[in-house]
Amino acid sequence: QGEPVRVLVTGAAGQIAYSLLYSIAKGDVFGKDQPLILVLLDITPMMTVLEGVVMELQDCALPLLREVIPTDKEEVAFKDLDIAILVGSMPRREGMERKDLLKANVKIFKSQGAALDKYAKKTVKVVVVGNPANTNCLIASKSAPSIPKENFSCLTRLDHNRAKSQIALKLGVTANDVKNVIIWGNHSSTQYPDVNHAKVNVKGKEVGVYEAIKDDSWLKGDFILTVQQRGAAVIKARKLSSAMSAAKAICDHVRDIWFGTPAGEFVSMGVISDGNSYGVPEDLLYSFPVVIKDKTWKFVEGLPINDFSREKMDLTAKELTEEKETAVEFLSSA
């Protein structure tokens, strides 16, 4: 079976991790014959809860799980990592300004970036889930100068899966029949779910989504709004944020980094914008369509961008630029 892969999950006592850890530990992400060491980081007050999570992982009696290491110490958590999944972040409280939220998170991700820089393997792949995910990811990367920028990504796969699923539901096909939807930009309500290049398999024939749905006003209106605001809709209904679907999206994202994307398909990931051909400013952590091979992503090039898309892509870039400027200010004082 070879060497175990060493995986860190932060915010490990939280509800996304509760859905995520079982999927990873049973082999859904790194394969059915890849042994694992799971490192679980959370804040000191959560250590008792985390002990309960460790007990449950033990009680799952999983053959791939070689070791589980719960900790509240960064020097333990970040040591020799192959993969870091940074789920833990400061959640937004009632009446909290976005600026306050950014400030609290800059502190966390500066510290975790520095710990990655100091303790993790230089080949570590870092996936940021905790919000504001794009900017948190950029801060972590800037705080880990010895790890390639390309090794950092943030989760927009949940938005990608939401878009895919809405199209499938509308057409009465399975989600698997829909491919190449794109999420551009920020993991926020300014994100742009784009199906101009998406394809759907209808009765054995591959057609463009616009052609298949034949309802442009829905595709340019309610479809986009539904995907943008889906997270809030789930919270309104469940009184809790979307944990099951977030955990599934994290598994998809990490599995694609590890094993690559299927031929002819691309996926959405927040990555560093340097060298993109879509007019997105450099040095932003922005969601793009990518293909992955040998654990390395590349931008999908040459997709034509219409005026409707251009405007939406620029709007979310503007939000990310503002977020970045605020965060970088805090970074120097953090």
| Annotated binding-site positions for substrate | 92, 98, 131, 162
Catalytic-residue membership of 187: yes
Distance from C-alpha of 7 to C-alpha of 4, rounded to nearest angstrom: 9
Say which of 160, 187, 197, 253 is annotated catalytic: 187
Name the token pair of 314. 């620029």
Binding residues for NAD(+): 42, 105, 129-131
- What is the DSSP pairing of strand 65-71 with strand 36-41? parallel
String of DSSP letters for 197-255: T-EEEETTEEEEHHHHH--HHHHHTHHHHHHHTHHHHHHHHHSS---HHHHHHHHHHHH
Distance from C-alpha of 233 to C-alpha of 237, rounded to nearest angstrom: 6
CA 323 to chain centre: 18
CB 269 within 8 A of CB 290: yes
Distance from C-alpha of 86 to C-alpha of 116, rounded to nearest angstrom: 11
- Burial class, 330, CB count within 10 angstroms (exposed 0-12 / middle 13-18 / buried 19+): middle
Name the token pair of 60. 């799952």
Q: Which residues are catalytic?
A: 187
